[in-house]
A and B are shown apart, each in its own frame.
Chain A
């Protein structure tokens, strides 16, 4: 099984040689950054947190204007109310996080060595509900988990992403996410890398394709200013667009991909929650 997985990973590197096999996640990340420094000369690293907007100056202006009075503040307020509502035992979500939940999101996902599992920020919110005797939220439900993260992530706005891969078990998750990133899927036969690495900044029909570097830094997004879309919700949409059967929210596959992508964006400032076309 390990051999099989290793061979799959190696094949991915051989088939797409521009990004060489990672000696370590740190070297891997450096290779991705160098690739994009050549693709987008002169773009300050922090700007990658703006996603596709780095390659569409008009889009950036529109973004700045809409972000002055975002049309999605109602959803953020719904999330704030959930965040502030007392559990039956009298505590709130803030009690589950250091610093009352301010500047915490950049540490997620992390690998919990005791559980042997990745813990996403959404997992931590559900763990908080569980620990306080409350029913967990459904990961794909916009009206509960969706708006809650849309608010809770704003408390970490500007925090620099700081995801760690510190053990062989954690590395296995990182490599699983990386393998998925390069894997062709569905009837369309597309891989994440095909668009968001090799064609990042180019135009698909009328839209600029976002670079993978920075993709983890700006969730959730409100498409058209209204439609709440979480990071893993976007994974699902991408898989559907490839005409593949999508994995579920909080699946091992999605959590590993989120871990890999968030690690690549280490050091970038979080921007939550944001408008996208």
Chain B
């Protein structure tokens, strides 16, 4: 019995350890690869941010758009990262008249894709 419990504890510990490692790897992948968030943000079938916004800090963000505000000083404008995430998920909550699509609510981006876009924008 005792050895069984020990084994199960060991197994549990291993699972936790593996999960933690995976999470760390995932987080590292996100941090190390903002290009993924950039690709999603620039993709006209996904984030399509450049249709409406300029991103002055990103030299690859080529657009003349002036419908939404430039995406700059994001940490200052959204000190709470969750607010930026909400703004992308459903901007009509903050402004019912906005023309910005509700990327999360309408499934234009998945939850994970929104996280990546937030990560990308938070650099600027």
Contact = CB atoms under 8 A, between A and B. Distances in A.
Interface of A: 15-16, 187-190, 194-195, 198-199, 202-206
- List the 9 closest pairs (A to B, CB-CB), nearest first: A194-B99, A188-B101, A187-B106, A203-B64, A205-B51, A202-B67, A203-B66, A189-B101, A206-B64
Contacts of B51: 204-205
B99 to A, nearest CB: 4
B108 interface: yes
Contacts, number: 39
Interface in B82-101: 92, 96-97, 99, 101
A188 B64 contact: no
A204 B101 contact: no
A204 B52 contact: yes
Interface residues of B, number: 17
B101 to A, nearest CB: 5
Contacts of A187: 101, 106-108
A190 B101 contact: yes
Instruction: Give chain B's interface secondary structure class.
Output: loop
Contacts of B96: 15
B65 interface: yes
Contacts of B8: none
A205 B65 contact: yes
19 contacts: A187-B101, A187-B106, A187-B107, A187-B108, A189-B101, A189-B102, A189-B106, A198-B99, A199-B99, A202-B66, A202-B67, A203-B64, A203-B66, A203-B67, A204-B52, A204-B67, A205-B50, A205-B51, A205-B63
